[in-house]
Amino acid sequence: MQHKKRYATLVLTIFMALALIVSACGNNANNGAAVDNGSQSGADAGANNGGTSEELTLKLLMVGAKPVDYDVVFTELNNKLKEKINATVEVEFLDWSDWTQKYPLKFAANEDFDIAYTANWAFYNDQALKGGFLELTEDMLSTNMPQTWAAMPKVAWEQAKVDGKLYMVPHNNTEVTDKVVLIREDLRQKHNLEPVNSPESFANYVKAIAANEKGVTAYGAKAADGWKWHELDQILLEQQNEWNLVDYNVPLAYKLDDASGQLFNVYDTPEFKSLLTYYKDLADNGAWSKNVVSNKNDVWQDIKAGKVASYAQNLGTVAANVAEARRDTPDLEMAIADLTPDKKKIGAISTQNGMAIHATSKKVERSLMFIDLMQNDKELHDLVMYGIAGTHYEPVGDDKFNAGPSAANYTGFSNWGFNSPLNRTDASYPQEAIDMSAEWESKLHHFPLETFVFDDSKVKNQVASVGNVMLRYAIPLEYGLIPDIDKGQAELLKQLEAAGINEIQQELQSQIDAFLANQQ
């Protein structure tokens, strides 16, 4: 009768099941072949020094939309690659709209590809634990990607290990994950407000805008996107108190200066309680829309249209926003505000971006050589990151660039996996952001648990339930939609307990203890 499309899990499962069954017979054969190939090509490698005699086509899986000028750039890239390693590449793009569904399917169906973009936010741990990626040994890395092996800090490899094994060639880029706030500098000056550099001055700014600027929402958030731990929480709870949340799907954190890594429930702290009062005060003063948890608009577009006066994001994103605004909407003056300037800064772990080898790839050596070139060959790196000089970008010196006439035709996909010290910075990138990030790097705090990764396979039921409770009880509470915050917090804690937060805490703590014991 009605053949309505359902995107729900069952149909997904059925399609997956179908795809699997169709490929099931070939599956074992493939696995076997891969093993054979491994030992064989090992021999080959010895025989003909890396073995680039046979021409190969490497298949890449990237997330993001296919750039308009993909053909132009990659034809150029392939010409050079053929010369250097006798290989060409073909990229398959998984569009942003449904990559989270397609990405695991590519592995489940064991499709034919060699290299996959991955990241801690893009299924890295998950796929590694499920056996989607090939384990990379030191031997393989030092033989096939000598330049990367030399250039990459050892800690980056350590951070990319899951359960002690490496499955990814991480990008080579230090980055601070701290979040900042984008504000409207012109509005701040118009209302004679003090500079925004602390939670209090931010509250003043937001309240003043809410009271005096009709038709402007003071703070914009896209709470409807299903994230359980928001940028403002990250700033006002984690950064402000120098905590670190182990996994953004579970509200468990430890203090940065606590060498023993004792976990606690962030929702069950006086700091959270006072943050709730802070949030409630903002909400009651109309700082954000009453329907913030149903908001379907793109916050940045609303800011550009002058409808929203602040939001929180990564420094890199906000800086790019400021650069874009200076180009497109010069009448709106924007500024970057760090609300926690004096606190310890945490470096992004290397798995923020990276490339992994598909477990059943038969072109492992060449794939590693390819990644090596992408990260360390200046000419190829420029090509894959920025496109063709003069068309997509204008090189400025050796380390800067300006957007070219058709910059928009080569952008928007996960080539960040190839980030390296050879990256150029946008010449229009705001100076204050460069300064800020330089200052952060000087305050970068390193601690033993930095490289710890949570393996939730033993408590996945509880993690799923806790995530649900965070969405259902914590988010509305934080956005001030629950009239009585004490009752709301009590209810949240009760529900978390019922969902099994204690079992997660036990499991996580024992993993942390074991990790720390191992390090000594």
Partner 1 sequence: MNRHGFWGEVVKHKTLLLMLTPAVLFFLLFAYIPMTGIVLAFKQFNYAGGVFGSPWNGLDNFRFFFDSGDAWRVTRNTALYNIAFIIVNNVLQIAAAILLFEVAGKWFRKITQTALFLPYFISWVVVGAIAYNLFNYDVGTINVFLRAVGMEPIDIYNTAAYWPLILVIISAWKAIGYGTIMYLAAITSIDTEMYEAAEIDGANVFQRIFKITIPNLYPTLIILILLAIGNIFRGDFGMFYNMVGNNGILFSTTDVIDTYVFRSLITSNEIGMSAAAGFYQSVLGFATIMLANWAVRKYDKDRALF
Least distance in angstroms from the C-beta of 504 to partner 1:
12
Contact 118, 126 (CB under 8 A): no
**Stretch of 61-69, 322-330, 421-429, 492-500 contacting partner 1, by CB under 8 A:** 492-500
**Stretch of 14-22, 60-68, 134-142, 157-165 contacting partner 1, by CB under 8 A:** 14-22
Q: Does 475 bind partner 1 (CB under 8 A)?
A: yes
Q: How far is CA 393 from the centre of its chain?
A: 25
Tell me, by CB under 8 A, how many residues bind partner 1.
65
Using CB under 8 A, which of 198, 467, 491, 497 touches partner 1? 467
**Stretch of 16-24, 60-68, 143-151, 447-455 contacting partner 1, by CB under 8 A:** 16-24
Least distance in angstroms from the C-beta of 142 to partner 1:
27
Q: How do strand 393-396 and strand 400-403 relate by DSSP bridges?
A: antiparallel
Per-residue contact track with partner 1, 370 to 409, x per CB under 8 A? ----------------------------------------
- Cα separations in angstroms, 296 against 55, 273, 357, 369, 381: 48, 28, 36, 43, 37
Structure tokens at 493: 């804690």
Structure tokens at 168: 């990814």
CA angle 166, 116, 418 (to 5 degrees): 80
C-beta closer to partner 1: residue 3 or 154: 3
**Stretch of 13-21, 141-149, 335-343, 370-378 contacting partner 1, by CB under 8 A:** 13-21
DSSP string, 18-61: HHHHHHHHHHHHHHHHHHHHHHHHHHHHHHHTT---S-EEEEEE
C-beta closer to partner 1: residue 286 or 395: 286
Provide the residue count of the chain. Answer: 520
SS3 of residue 400 by DSSP: strand
Using CB under 8 A, which of 139, 214, 270, 296 touches partner 1? 296
- Cα separations in angstroms, 391 against 164, 378, 501: 44, 18, 53
C-beta closer to partner 1: residue 336 or 466: 466
Per-residue contact track with partner 1, 247 to 286, x per CB under 8 A? --x-------------------------------------
C-beta closer to partner 1: residue 290 or 446: 290
168 secondary structure, DSSP code? E
Query: Which 92-151 positions form the footprint of partner 1 (CB under 8 A)?
Result: 100, 104, 107-108, 110, 123, 126-127, 129-132
For the chain, state the CA radius of gyration: 24
Cβ atoms within 10 Å of 480's Cβ, excluding its own: 23
Contact 133, 168 (CB under 8 A): yes
The Cα 126–Cα 106 span in angstroms is 14
Which helix H or strand E contains 183, and what residues bound it? strand 179-184
Using CB under 8 A, which of 187, 380, 499, 512 touches partner 1? 499
Query: Which 324-363 positions form the footprint of partner 1 (CB under 8 A)?
Result: 359
Using CB under 8 A, which of 118, 172, 265, 289 touches partner 1? 289
418 secondary structure, DSSP code? G
Contact 376, 147 (CB under 8 A): yes
Using CB under 8 A, which of 313, 384, 473, 511 touches partner 1? 473
Q: Does 463 bind partner 1 (CB under 8 A)?
A: yes
Query: Which 200-239 positions form the footprint of partner 1 (CB under 8 A)?
Result: 217, 223-226
- Residue 64 gets the label, from left (phi > 0), alpha (psi -120 to 50) or beta, of left
Contact 134, 357 (CB under 8 A): yes
**Stretch of 147-155, 407-415, 432-440, 454-462 contacting partner 1, by CB under 8 A:** 454-462
Using CB under 8 A, which of 338, 377, 456, 507 touches partner 1? 456
Least distance in angstroms from the C-beta of 201 to partner 1:
25
To which residue do tokens 């396979």 refer? 457
Task: Please give the residue ranges that form the binding site for partner 1 (CB under 8 A).
Answer: 1-2, 4-10, 12-18, 20-21, 24, 27, 31, 100, 104, 107-108, 110, 123, 126-127, 129-132, 217, 223-226, 249, 289-291, 293-296, 359, 456, 460-461, 463-465, 467-468, 471-476, 481, 498-500
